[in-house]
Structure 1
Amino acid sequence: MEFQQLTLPQTDVSQPPPQLTAPSALATNATLLPSQSGGGSSYGSHHRNHYHPHHGGSGKPGHPYFKPFNPGGFQRPFGMTQDDFDGKRLRKSVMRKTVDYNASIVKALETRLWTRDHRDRHAPQPENIYVPELLPPSSYLDNPSNAVTTRFVKTATNKMRCPIFTLAWTPEGRRLVTGASSGEFTLWNGLTFNFETILQAHDVPVRTMVWSHNDSWMVTGDHSGYVKYWQSNMNNVKMFQAHKEAIRGISHSVLSY
């Protein structure tokens, strides 16, 4: 058996290399096709397609096959678009105004050990440096001017705009319960003034609410004459119809708990 020897073509290095007219296969995905003179429609720079060897999308407007290559990470010279975000955007933090009364209560608990009455209590001075020395209004029983409210603090609006017929503070003083004409209870935070919970308590407007003497029960009355007993966690335990007309006031007897 005889084998023929293959002869390789000899490359002429004396001539310059030929000029390439088509884009190289090693071109990056950011290489744009050159604009063609003649047939076909011409589009702006934002409609030019990127070259891809397997998707001959020449002259087709629209979105490119790939995003432009960015060697500098996310530091782009232009603004970011919607395609650059993956997921939900972070909400901008909002600073809530608050009235923090805990400092005055702690101060009253500290000074009650050695304070007999107004004779041992320091008089409040009209300077900012005396703000840490302020006490709650219950400590100034001999000076009722301390409890005069002259400064507007906050306006809170419920989701469903309707009249509010009654309200009451919780026994610990941290939340405010309001009864609306829609029959809903709304619990408001006493520090930041935002609502925490909305509860459908009655089918008709809530007219009155009051807490028991031992701060364990809240009794409410509505426009149809029904009375409901509520626990501190807003759990309804009892309901009965006391009158045929609207109940506009409820009070506990002195000896009741």
Structure 2
Amino acid sequence: MQEEEKTNLPNLKEICNAKYQNPKFVYDGKRMRVLTVRRTLDYASAYVYRKYFKKPMPICIDSTSFLGLQPDPAKKYSNESQILYMKEPLFCEPKEAITSEFAHISINKIKCPINVVKYTPDGRRLMSGTSTGEFTLWNAFSFNFETILQAHESPVRSLCWSPSGKFLVSGDSLGIMKFWHPSMLNLLKIDAHNEPVRDISFSSSDSKFCTASDDGTIKIWDSKESKEEGQLKGHGWDVRVAQWHPEYSLIASGGKDNLVKLWDPRVKKELNTLHIHRNTILALQWSKDGKYLLSGGKDQVVKKFDLRAFEEIFSYKNHKKEVTAICLHPNIDSLFVSASSEGGLYFWEMFDENPLKIVNQAHDNTIWGLDFHPLGHVLASGSIDNSVRFWVRERPNKIIESKIKSIEDKERIPGLNIFE
């Protein structure tokens, strides 16, 4: 009897190989699924490892060289040890914090273009706004789908968290604006504009925010009373972007009239107009210290404007097509990334007109949404190609191997081999 019972036990090998069989012939009332290991990107484990176990990082060359703060290339490390030996994102140099390595792609079950992506303030989830009016929440560590919510009746065009993270504001193509609790409970619905709400930006506190719309206006709102305080009119066409200064009562806006305008929201008046672009402006971002304004658009150039000297000081011209999005690194003031309509990602250092890194064909179509994880070690991008893609920093061994290969490809000069 014991031998018969043993023979009736399921064979582990058969279960593991079930995926290679036709389910019509092996189906017995239960769906057999093979266990898979889901890739997880959790920076906390590496931080705890470095913080409390005090493991030294094996440095092979001084930190001023391009191999500084990287593991010894003569040694081979597993993928886990590479991550543990990587420098904390909070203390990286711009060249060390570039998130150019593809990590994962997430696609909704019902495929639709992604218009905007935003991390939650705690960094645990990524929200994507789709052209079907849905919010999709993705796990920020394992990238898997968590939940989906029919938030709007038309395409979601803009998302913005309040500085305190207590509520979220969204806008759609019908001009509807909604307030959301972090638990995704809808708090309020307002008919804000007659045309799509293209951009939303908060002041340094939760008290005020502004919205930009294709109806040619920028509206100032009081968050506590949920009422409109005034309108800023002056653009001759659609207003595509509007960004509130991180410290001052100052708003920068841009649109189809090719102009960047500066406004004082207290008196509801235009302060100045900048003629620095030759085509529609699609992206604006203030630097963290508020000294510089980055702008990009259909003229395929990102401009850097110095607010103190009140002049353009840098132009970043390596884009193949129009610039559709700009995102600053949350912890490194001088690092930012731009996206273009051909699907490329461009990483820049603010005081260098040459790109640090270019990721060609990061997406198959126009990238409309970019957002860094609050720690800065992951970049999320959303595109018309129906996908959200996650990008991480290159692993140390990969960086070193690429550098060694580039050196070996050049003609060797005696006495100049840094590895001798």
Q: TM-score range by the shorter chain?
A: 0.5 to 0.7
Match of 1:162 among 112, 125, 133: 112
Aligned residue for 2:47, secondary structure, equals helix
CA distance in 1, matches of 2:140, 2:41: 8
Verify the 8 A CA contact 2:163 2:205 in the aligned structure 1. no
Note the C-alpha offset of 1:183. Answer: 0.4
Q: CA deviation at 1:109?
A: 5.8
Alignment of 1:22-171 (within 5 A): 72-73=4-5, 75=7, 87-106=29-48, 123-126=69-72, 128=77, 131-140=83-92, 143-171=93-121
**Cα distance in 1, alignment partners of residues 179 and 202 from structure 2:** 13
Q: What's the counterpart of residue 233 of structure 1?
A: 183
2-structure distance, mates of 1:74, 1:102: 45
Cα distance between partner residues in 2 of 1:246 and 1:171: 25
Q: Secondary structure at the match of 1:210?
A: strand
Q: CA deviation at 1:139?
A: 1.9
Is residue 2:126 matched to residue 1:176?
yes
Structure 2: unaligned runs, 5 residues or longer: 15-23, 54-62, 208-420
Alpha-carbon offset, residue 132 of structure 1: 2.3
Give the aligned residue type for 1:254: S
Query: Is contact 2:127–2:137 with CA below 8 Å preserved after alignment?
Result: yes
Shift of 1:99: 1.6
How far off its partner does 1:123 sit?
3.3
Secondary structure of residue in 1 paired with 2:90: helix
Q: Whose radius of gyration is greater, 1 or 2?
A: 1
Higher strand content, 1 or 2: 2
Amino acid at match of 1:99: L
Quote how far apart the aligned CAs of 1:220 are: 0.4
Q: By how many angstroms is 1:126 displaced? A: 4.7
Task: Indicate the structure whose relative CO is greater, using CA pairs within 8 Å and at least 6 residues apart.
Answer: 2
Cα displacement (A) at 1:147: 1.3
Count of equivalent residues: 174
Residue ranges of structure 1 left out of the alignment (5+ in a row) = 1-70, 112-117
The DSSP-based 3-state class of the residue aligned with 1:125 is coil
User: What is the DSSP-based 3-state SS (H/G/I as helix, E as strand, rest coil) of the residue aligned with 2:96?
Assistant: helix
Could you list the per-position Cα deviations for residues 168-197 of structure 1 after superposition, in whole angstroms to 9, with x for gaps in the alignment?
A: 001111110000000010000111111100
For residues 168 and 72 of structure 2, what CA distance do their matches in structure 1 show?
A: 40
Change (3 A) 1:108 1:75: closer
Q: Determine the C-alpha separation between the residues in 2 that align with 1:132 and 1:94.
A: 24
CA deviations over 1:116-142 (Å, ceiling 9, x no partner): xx9xxx9343553564243431222xx
1:56-95 deviation per Cα after TM superposition (whole angstroms, max 9, x unaligned): xxxxxxxxxxxxxxx934738xx99x99987524422122
**Hey, what's the Cα distance between the residues in 2 that align with 1:202 and 1:172?**
24
Cα distance in 1 for partners of 2:115, 2:187 equals 23
Q: 1:83 to 1:162 in 2, by over 3 A?
A: closer
- On the 8 A contact 2:164/2:205 being kept in 1, the answer is no
The alignment's TM-score, normalised by the length of structure 2, stands at 0.37
State TM-score, norm by structure 1: 0.59
Question: For the residues of structure 1 that align with 2:6 and 2:173, how far apart are their CA atoms?
Answer: 62
Does the residue aligned with 1:249 lie in a helix, a strand or coil? strand
